[in-house]
Structures are given as C-alpha cells and as structure tokens.
Amino acid sequence: MMGIQQVLDQVTTYLKGIWIKKRYVLISSWLICPIGWMGVASMPDQYESSARLYVDTNSLLRPLLRGLAFNTNPENQVKMVADTLLSRPTLEKIAREADLDIKAKTKGEFDKILGSLKANLSLRTTRERNIYTISYESGNAQLSQKIVQITLNEFVENSLGSSRRNGDTAEEFLNKQIAEYEVALLEAEQRLAEFKRSRMERAPSTADAYFTNLQNQRDQLKQAQLRLEELESQLVSAKAQLACEEPVFGLVEPETGVQSSGVSTQYDSRIAALESRLDELLIQYTDQHPDVVKTRGLIEHLRSERNDLLGKMSQVAKDTGSYNSFGGLNQNPVYQQLKLNVARIESEIASTKVRVDNFQASVNELQDKINLVPVIEAEFQALNRDYGIKKSRYEELLNRRESAQLSRKAEATTDDVQFRVIDPPLLPSKPSGPPRLLLYTLVLFVGFGAGLALAFIISQLNAVVFSTRQITEQFNIPVLGAVSHFDAPRMQRAHKRNVMIFTVTSSMLVMAYIAIMVLELSYGYTPFELIGRFI
C-alpha cells in the first residue's frame, strides 16, 4: 500500500507528463470548443408559455346537504382530470384545435406530433394540490401561448363536466336498477299471494297457531264427548222412569158425538211442544242445523204415530158402527211429561253426536297436517324473506335516487368547484431555451477536458523520465549519476516559447468564451445573430 508521499509523487509524475504533452490540450480544445460553440449558437430558440390556475373546492352548500345528498370529493375529480389530461384523446383534441394536424399527412407523422406535444406539455401542482401550472415549450411563441390556452380551457371544461357526467350516469343506473327491482318485487308479491291462496289455507300461518287450534279442537271434542255421556246417562234414567208410569187412566165419554179428527190423543201436547221448540231453533239456526233436522224428524214421527192411532180408533168405530164407545182418552200427565223429557234428551243427544263428529273430523284433519305445517311455514318464510329483501333494496334505491336528484339540482344551482386563473398564458417575449450559457460552459470544459485526457493517455503510452528516483522505482536499478543537457539555454528558451504559446492560445479560447457569455447575458444575441445584424 502506497504512502501519502508516494501518492503525491505519482500525481506529480502524471501532471508533468500531461504538461509535456500540452500541445494535445491545445489541439483538442481548439477543435472542440469552436465547433461546439457554433453548434450551441445555431440551436433554435425555444419559447415557453405558462399559466397558473387555482382550484377552489370549498363549497358552502356541501356541509348543508350532508346526509341529504351524495357528497362527491371534488378534489379527487380534479386530480383524475389532471392525471388524464395528457392522455391520447385529450392530446388529439388539443392538436386539432391548435391546427397541428394540418402538418401531418400520414398517421405516423400525426403520432410524432402527439409525441412531441406530450413531451413539451407539462402539468404541475403544488403540495396543497390546489394550484396547477400548465406550460408548453415550442419554437413558435404564438403556438406556445395557444396550446397553453387550449389546455387550460380543456382542463376546466373536463373538471366541470366530470361531476355532471358522473351524476347523470349514476342516476341512469339507479333508474335502470329501480325498474328491474319493480319487476322482481311484483313477481315476488304475486308468488307470495299465490302461496297464501293455495297453501296457507291448508294450515295456520304459524306452528304456534296450528298447535293452539289443534288443542282447542281437542278440548271442545272432550267437552262434547263428556256432554254426550251425560245425556246418554240422563236418557237411560228418563226411560226407566217412563217405563214405571201408565200412559192413560182409562176411557171417558166424549163430550160430543163424533170426534174422528178432533179427538184428543197423547201425542198432541208433545207435537205442540216440539213445534214450539222448532220455531225457537229456526230463529237461531238454519234448516240444515242438526237440532232443527232432528226436531222435524221427531215431529213427523209423532204425527205418524198419532195418525196410526186415529186410524185404529176409526177402524174400531167403523166395525162397531159408532164413535161413542171411545169418548176422550183420560191421559196420564206425568207419563206425558216423561215422554217429552225422553224426546228432548234424544234430540240433544243427536245434536251432540253431530258436534262430536265435527270436532273429531277437525282433530283428525289437523293431525294429518301436522307434518305439513313446518314445510308450509318454511316455504312461507322463504318467500316472505325474499320479498322483504327485494322490498328493502327497492326502497333503498328510491332513497338513493332522490339523493342523486338532489345532488344534481345542487350542482346546477352552484358550482362545486371554482377555477381562478392566477397567471393567464402570455405571449413569451424572450426565448426560454436552450440553456446556451450552460452549454457554452459545458463545451469549454469538454474541450479542455478532452485535451487533458488525450495528453494523459499519450504521456502514458510514450513515457518520459523526469528524475533518477523514477528510474530506480520503475526499473529497480541503482543510478550512479546524472548528466545535464549540453545546450540548456536553448532548451529553456524553447520551453518558455511553448509555455507562452499555450498560454496565449488558451487565453484566446477563454476570452472567446467570455465574449460569448457577455454577448448572451447583456444583449441576448448569439454570435450568428450579432454578425447578421452588422451584415
């Protein structure tokens, strides 16, 4: 590893080698610098026009409508428009409005124009994202101003139209969805109504109601069966009492001579009582009621027996030739009362049996449907759930459409986003580029740098020994002595002449650089423009 002294000696050796080959520095700098400066001076001027725009997204109406209308984020909309401002459709529109497409005869030429437009057109924003700067650089000052103005107008129009287009699209989508849900809701209502008509009539609406109804029917069946047993027991007792009584006490002389039709029998009072009961039943029930039917049957039966009795009496009277032998029947009133009681109990037993049969049929029907009730209830809940979901979605869509319409009306009454032009695009009076001062300086450094590099390379290829220590270090041989040049004064004069030539020529290049810089800074002219003004 070399020490600091060795590094310094090595650097010194390199510098001495470059100094000996300094003529290559002059050759390189005088070849590169004038050519480079002429190239920079011949570069066409570029004019840049720019505009600054402030976007105000604070609206007083937005907090007032919070919760009533949709609050879109205008900052995101403006950002989206800014991000898509340099898209191909927008660039094509700007190029056509600026008449750039007239220069293009083929699609490839038009693509090149769009590429140049995109490369030179820029849109920048501040950290607060509320101030936008639009700039464009071109060789034509009027074209730069025109393109910036067109881009500025396009940016404002797209930002204002974006929210309106989004609102119209959202409202159109909501209307379409509402129409679809109306059809679906109507179909769900029809399915639910059809299910209620066809299935819900066969079982109660819920399992609890079904089992409650079944239990009520069973309770009523038990009560009717118990009542039937009571009546049958009463009938047995009444018939036993009736058997112990005599129907009549004997015959009595009639009050009149002939009683063929007006004779009093044991059936008359019973028939009258049953007819009176029948009138009461008809007031309460219809003709098909079991009690009414049973009572009418009993009346017909008693009338039949009465007619048979009268027929027998009439036959006996005909055989004897006189009706006087019968007289009036002295009937037993207790027997008649017991007979009516038996008939009443039998009638009530008949009606109770009908009730027992009806309750038993209802219980059997409900028990047969005990497995059908959960299935029907599950189907009903599924249909009702489907209908409820569609109804809630439909109502939610209606509410959202109302909010969308309110938002659209609010946007129509006030601008949610306001644009304020801070700096309008002006016609540039001075060129903005190219950066000739920087390029002139760069050419100067490149010319001298290339010469230094060339001198260094040649010094390394054609090395020169400067000291005895260099020989010792490079060849590892001892140096016994050193002999000076025999014509040292001539060598010194030649060296001074070379140094002066190098100094003068280098100074001329530097003076030319300074003159070009002063000309550019003071007057804004290139050397060619200055020559053209004097010719």
Q: Which position has the higher pLDDT, 222 or 321?
A: 222
Rounded to 5 degrees, φ, ψ at 123 are -130, 115
Lowest pLDDT segment from 138-142, 338-342, 427-431, 474-478: 474-478
| Amino acid, res. 370 | I
pLDDT at 410 > cutoff 60: no
Rounded to 5 degrees, φ, ψ at 419 are -115, 135
**Helix residue ranges per DSSP H, 56-124:** 61-64, 74-83, 88-97, 107-120
Task: Write down the pLDDT at residue 364.
Answer: 82
Q: Which of 459, 436, 442, 461 is nearest to 528 (CA)?
A: 436
> What's the average model confidence in pLDDT over 431-457?
87
Q: How far apart are CA 428 and CA 45, in angstroms?
A: 12
With a CB cutoff of 8 Å and minimum separation 6, the contacts of 509 are 29, 30, 33, 444, 447
Q: Which run of H or of E encompasses 299?
A: helix 290-320
pLDDT digits (tens, 9 = 90+) for 509-521: 889 889 888 888 7
List Cα–Cα distances, 23 to 258, 455, 464, 465, 502, in angstroms.
183, 8, 15, 19, 7
List Cα–Cα distances, 314 to 127, 250, 292, 294, 323, in angstroms.
132, 18, 32, 30, 8
**Coil vs helix vs strand at 329:** strand
List Cα–Cα distances, 532 to 439, 517, 527, in angstroms.
22, 18, 9
With a CB cutoff of 8 Å and minimum separation 6, the contacts of 200 are 376, 380
Task: Write down the pLDDT at residue 533.
Answer: 61
Task: Write down the pLDDT at residue 441.
Answer: 92
Rounded to 5 degrees, φ, ψ at 455 are -65, -40
pLDDT at 407 > cutoff 50: yes
Task: Write down the pLDDT at residue 421.
Answer: 82
> What's the average model confidence in pLDDT over 26-38?
89
Task: Write down the pLDDT at residue 442.
Answer: 93
pLDDT at 195 > cutoff 80: no
The DSSP bridge partners found for residue 122 are 135
**CATH number attached to the domain at 47-180+417-423:** 3.30.1890.10
pLDDT digits (tens, 9 = 90+) for 153-173: 888 887 765 555 555 566 677
Q: Which of 103, 127, 129, 128 is nearest to 114 (CA)?
A: 103
Q: Contact at 8 Å (CB) between 138 and 120?
A: yes
Banded pLDDT at 288 (limits 50, 70, 90): confident
pLDDT digits (tens, 9 = 90+) for 245-276: 655 444 333 333 333 344 566 778 888 888 88
pLDDT digits (tens, 9 = 90+) for 52-91: 888 776 654 455 445 444 455 556 666 777 777 778 888 8
Q: How far apart are CA 503 and CA 513, in angstroms?
A: 15
Lowest pLDDT segment from 290-304, 339-353, 357-371, 483-497: 483-497
